[in-house]
Chains A and B, each alone.
Chain A
C-alpha cells in the first residue's frame, strides 16, 4: 500500500497516451467557429463594394431569412463556390455579400467573370464587420433570420452538397 504512489507516473502517462491516441484518430479541425450563433447581427452599414449594386447594412436583413456571404475577389475558393451560390439564388434565396479588403474594380471583374448571385455587396475594407460577426476567413456564409438573428454558419466554400443544407437552415430560420 505504501508504495502505491509509485504507480502514479504510469497512471498519468496512460491518461496522456490514451488522450493522444484518441486525438490522432480525430479529424484535425482547422476552423474557428463563430460564437455569435443565436445572437443578433451587430449593427453595421457598409458602402457599396462597386458601382453595380447597393451597399449592405444590418437593416437589409428583414422580411425573410437571408444569406450573408463573406467573400473576396482575391480568394480562390470563392471562385469554386460561385456556381453553387448561383444555384442558391435560383432557388429564390437572397444573398447579401460582404467583400473583404477589396477594390471596386476587382469586385466588378470577379462578378463579370464568375457570375453575380448577390443583391447587395458591402465593402469591408478593414474586416470590421467580419470581426464583429466572428468570422475568421473567406469564404464564410451565415444564415440570418428575418429578425436579424445569426442562425447558422458555414465555414469554407459552399459546395454542391452544402446547397441543400443551407436551404434547410434557411427554412428552419423562418
Chain B
C-alpha cells in the first residue's frame, strides 16, 4: 500500500546502498510457476501450501503472491512435488530443512516457537479468570450489597 509506494519512491534517493541492485533474468518461468496442475484436488493442495510458504527474496510475501522469479521456481517445486505424490507437509519439511522455520508461515511447535502456542492458552486462562472475577462474583456482591 502506501508504505510500499513511499519506499519505492525513496528507493530512488536513499536505498541503492542498502540493497544490492539485481538485474533481471530473461528466462521463461519454470513450467509450473504460472500454470496450474490439471487435477483440481492436487492443485488445491498445492495452492494451500503455497499460501503458507514465504518468498525468500521478497518482503513478507508468500510465494503464491509474488512475481519474483525465485517465488516462481518455488511454486514449480511445490506443484511438481505434489504431482509426484509428495504430501504438502513433506514438502514443507523439505524446505524447512533447507531454510529453517523462516520459510514457513505456519509455525510448528518447537523449542523456538512454543511461546506462540503457550500464550493463547495463557490468554484463554486469563480471559476465563477475568470473566469469572468481573462477572462471576457479581451475584455474591449483589447478595452482600443487599444484606
Smallest CB-CB separation from B97: which chain A residue?
A35
Q: Does B74 contact A (CB under 8 A)?
A: yes
Chain B residues whose C-beta falls within 8 Å of the C-beta of A101 in the assembled complex: 25, 27, 69, 73
**Contacts A33-B100, A35-B100, A137-B57; A127 near B73 (Cβ below 8 A):** yes
Contact B23 A34 (CB under 8 A): no
Contact A75 B22 (CB under 8 A): yes
The contact of B26 among A30, A74, A133, by CB within 8 Å, is A74
Q: Does A157 contact B (CB under 8 A)?
A: yes
Contact A35 B98 (CB under 8 A): yes
Chain B residues whose C-beta falls within 8 Å of the C-beta of A86 in the assembled complex: none
Distance from B109 Cβ to chain A, minimum over Cβ atoms (Å)? 18
The contact of B76 among A34, A76, A126, by CB within 8 Å, is A126
Q: Is the interface of A mostly helix, strand, loop or mixed?
A: loop
Contact B98 A156 (CB under 8 A): no
Chain A residues whose C-beta falls within 8 Å of the C-beta of B76 in the assembled complex: 126
**Contacts A32-B56, A32-B102, A35-B96; A75 near B23 (Cβ below 8 A):** yes
Cα separation A35 to B19 with both chains bound (whole Å): 23
**Contacts A76-B21, A137-B57; A126 near B73 (Cβ below 8 A):** yes
Smallest CB-CB separation from A42: which chain B residue?
B98
Contact B23 A136 (CB under 8 A): no
Distance from A38 Cβ to chain B, minimum over Cβ atoms (Å)? 12
Chain A residues whose C-beta falls within 8 Å of the C-beta of B99 in the assembled complex: 32, 34-35, 134, 136
Interface residues of B in 15-33 (CB under 8 A from A): 19-27, 30-31
Distance from A110 Cβ to chain B, minimum over Cβ atoms (Å)? 11
Q: Does A77 contact B (CB under 8 A)?
A: yes
Contact B20 A156 (CB under 8 A): yes
Q: Does B37 contact A (CB under 8 A)?
A: no
The contact of B22 among A76, A106, A131, by CB within 8 Å, is A76
Smallest CB-CB separation from A100: which chain B residue?
B25
**Contacts A126-B76, A133-B98; A77 near B69 (Cβ below 8 A):** no
Interface centre among A75, A103, A130, A133 (most CB of B within 10 A): A75
Interface centre among B23, B57, B74 (most CB of A within 10 A): B23
Interface centre among A33, A100, A126 (most CB of B within 10 A): A126
Contact A76 B25 (CB under 8 A): no
Smallest CB-CB separation from A72: which chain B residue?
B25
Q: Does A132 contact B (CB under 8 A)?
A: yes
Contact B77 A131 (CB under 8 A): yes
Taking Cβ atoms with an 8 Å cutoff, the residues of A that contact B are: 30, 32-36, 72, 74-77, 100-103, 106, 125-128, 130-134, 136-138, 156-157
For this complex, 6 residue pairs linking A to B, each with C-beta atoms less than 8 Å apart, are A30-B19, A77-B20, A101-B73, A103-B26, A125-B27, A137-B57
